[in-house]
Chains A and B, each alone.
Chain A
Amino acid sequence: MAIVNPTMPDAGPVVASRSFLSRLRDGDEIARLITFLFAASVVLITVLLVFELWTNSALARQKFGLHFFVTRVWDPVMDQFGALPFIFGTVMTSTIALLLAVPLGIGASIFLAELAPARVSDTLQFFIDLLAAVPSVIYGLLGVFIIVPLMRTVIYPALNKPFGYLPMFKGPSYGVGFLTAGIVLAIMVIPYIISVSREVLLSVPRDQREAALALGSTRWESTWKVVVPFAKTGIMGSIFLALARALGETMAVTMVIGNTPKISASVFSPGDTIASVIANQFTEATGDLYLQSLVGLGLVLFLLTFILNGLARLLIVVTTQKGSGKGNQ
């Protein structure tokens, strides 16, 4: 089934025909300059952020160099610092969170945008927006009081008994750990995915659906084969947002991950993430090297976010080209 590309508007209004002075007098030029400054501030803040992280981690970079990325030890007493366990924990929890949240979130948004009656959709949307606004410490409490006991009594036996021979389901469970943190993160990011994806799906032009229906497709065929591919870029955007929140989440993760800088293939074992260790240790970090290593971890997190976002963008480019033949943008 062919997919019609959305027509892109032209890059901006034609302004060159009038003199600079008259544009200035009419306020167009002023508006342009002011909004340009606002836009430029985003770049400026990013550059400043990297600069600060870079200069304040100089000691750690000089002492450990690239070994910082592969060292497993985090010992403030002996001044030995390595980022590997925290990188591992950050990637592991975010991956678990996305694996759980993406199918759930996209499924729910398809139902809300395409299949549910408008009143149901709007009511549910209200609750989803409410969930997105809940502070993360509340999700942490939810994790501590509901998911941790559930993990020990229900989820762990259910996964460990039949699949215990797999390295990822091996070992004992303390209730806290990668999987618990992943589940809490999934609950936190689902509202983002649903909310953004629903908006994107709703903004797909009516013509697209009607054309598909007119060609004899069923309601589900029109949804799954026309509307969802049309909205793919926007849905991917919602997943980015979810990923960004999962990578940087601090409070809720700290409360349920066990805060142990160890690397283990088992999803039941306790671990630690970059954001969580920074929040935990920053205030009492006494030595200069200790403090700068924590800033260095911040730099690593920035890098990690950068790489994962880049990879996800690459994925979009590749998949949209495959999906629509010509590529959407």
Chain B
Amino acid sequence: MKRPALLLTAVLALAAIVWAENPLLINGAGATFPYPIYSKWFDVYHQKNGNIQFNYQSVGSGAGIKQVTEGTVDFGATDGPMNDDQLKAFQDKRGSAILHFPTVLGAVVPTYNVPGVTGALNFTPEALAGVFLGKITKWNDPAIAGANKGVNLPAEDIVVVHRSDGSGTTYVWTDYLSKVSEEWNSKVKKSTSVNWPVGLGGKGNEGVTGLIKQTPGSIGYVELIYAVQNSVPYGSVKNSSGNFIKADLASVSAAAAGTAKDMPDDFRVSITNASGKTAYPISSFTWLLIPTKFQDAGKRDAIKGFLKWMLTDGQGYAEPLTYAKLPKEVVERELKAISKVQ
């Protein structure tokens, strides 16, 4: 008789703990790229506010938009802003609007494997577009060689490597190519996955990096964070001011600062090919998607509180995780926008 009684007490005690600790659970889903910083933020915020718990699933930007539209999660997250059709779909389905809140910045860098070349290469926008359109097929093509004086480029075929899975990385890369090349903009356009004119596909950053390591003469693109953390060599890209810039946290933040002035009120802005002398041209925001209306006032206040913390103290956690911080101007405008959530 002793044992069941003990068991019962234990169960009751456990139930009491669960009951007492039962925090407000807020669900989100979306982009994989910012997952490391988001999980850090949500963890730290939960430690500071024990009654609020965030649950974030990194299922991809597309799935994040879909789930927040259908109302299966409280907020979404995406690497590419929602388009007008998606905003309208949200309005139709939920009867309210959805807001974009930039959280941190990322960048996409060109990486390559050219036999005999060890240093960093310089790429002009024309060279990148030409290579990915399949028009430039040799490494010693004048379009590439012209920007790399003194580097002995071989007469080898170029093998293009791109992402095979739908990805925010691809969105940023094709968004950039659409801006710098008329032909790309009319033929291929920008999206999380496109109909590539040439090349091989690798799954994920690691798949692209693997293919490039294995294939002499190849060129591809990966996220800056992935390249830094895995010591993947990458090249510099010529920005709109004519300077060759190697991506790092400072040059990515500079790209955001360059566009802060003419940023639209809904924060849906592409910062590829941004102005600014030191701006890295293939940079992008990543966004949280927050509905303007919440049924549950508790959830609304919790999310507003989190947004405020994320934009101020939270930004300090970005750089150790190799994400670029938001520029001050953007933070100020976002803090004002929080009041739109009701």
Q: Interface of A with B (CB < 8 Å)?
A: 73-78, 80, 144, 148-149, 172, 174-176, 254-255, 258-260, 270, 272, 276, 279-281, 283-286
Contact = CB atoms under 8 A, between A and B. Distances in A.
Contacts of A255: 203, 207, 210
A284 B60 contact: yes
A74 B200 contact: no
Given A258-B200, A283-B60, A285-B62, A149 B192 contact: no
Contacts of B240: none
B200 A174 contact: yes
B202 interface: yes
Contact of A284 (B167, B199, B210, B214): B167
Top 7 closest pairs, chain A to chain B, by CB: A284-B166, A259-B201, A259-B164, A75-B195, A283-B60, A284-B62, A286-B62
Nearest to B196: A260
Given A259-B164, A280-B165, A283-B60, A77 B190 contact: yes
B159 A77 contact: no
Nearest to B199: A260
A75 B193 CA distance: 8
A175 B210 CA distance: 12
Given A73-B195, A76-B191, A260-B201, A283 B214 contact: no
Nearest to B63: A283
A259 B195 contact: no
A139 to B, nearest CB: 15
Q: Is the interface of B mostly helix, strand, loop or mixed?
A: loop
B157 interface: yes
A88 to B, nearest CB: 16
A280 B164 CA distance: 6
Nearest to B216: A152
A77 B189 contact: yes
Interface string B19-63: 000000000000000000000000000000000000000011111
B211 interface: yes
Given A76-B166, A284-B63, 20 more contacts: A77-B188, A78-B189, A80-B195, A144-B210, A174-B200, A175-B214, A254-B207, A259-B164, A259-B201, A270-B200, A272-B164, A280-B201, A281-B166, A283-B59, A284-B60, A284-B62, A286-B61, A286-B62, A286-B65, A286-B86
B328 to A, nearest CB: 32
Contacts of B191: 76-77
B19 to A, nearest CB: 36
A146 B167 CA distance: 28
Contact of B193 (A76, A78, A144, A260): A76
A258 B189 contact: no
Q: Is the interface of A mostly helix, strand, loop or mixed?
A: loop
Contacts of A80: 195
Interface residues of B, number: 33
B66 interface: yes
A281 B165 CA distance: 5
A80 B188 CA distance: 12
A175 B214 CA distance: 8
Contacts of B62: 283-286
A149 B60 CA distance: 32
Nearest to A172: B157
B192 A286 contact: yes
A286 B59 CA distance: 12
B194 A176 contact: no
Interface string B205-216: 001001100110
A294 to B, nearest CB: 10
Interface string B246-289: 00000000000000000000000000000000000000000000
Contacts of B211: 176
18 contacts: A76-B192, A77-B188, A77-B194, A78-B195, A254-B203, A254-B207, A270-B200, A279-B165, A280-B203, A281-B166, A281-B193, A283-B60, A283-B166, A284-B61, A284-B63, A284-B193, A285-B166, A286-B166
B132 to A, nearest CB: 14
A254 B164 contact: yes
A264 B203 CA distance: 22
Contacts of A272: 164, 201
A191 to B, nearest CB: 25
Given A77-B194, A270-B200, A174 B159 contact: yes
A197 B166 CA distance: 41
Of B159, B189, B200, most buried by chain A (CB within 10 Å of CB) is: B200
Contact of A286 (B66, B195, B203): B66
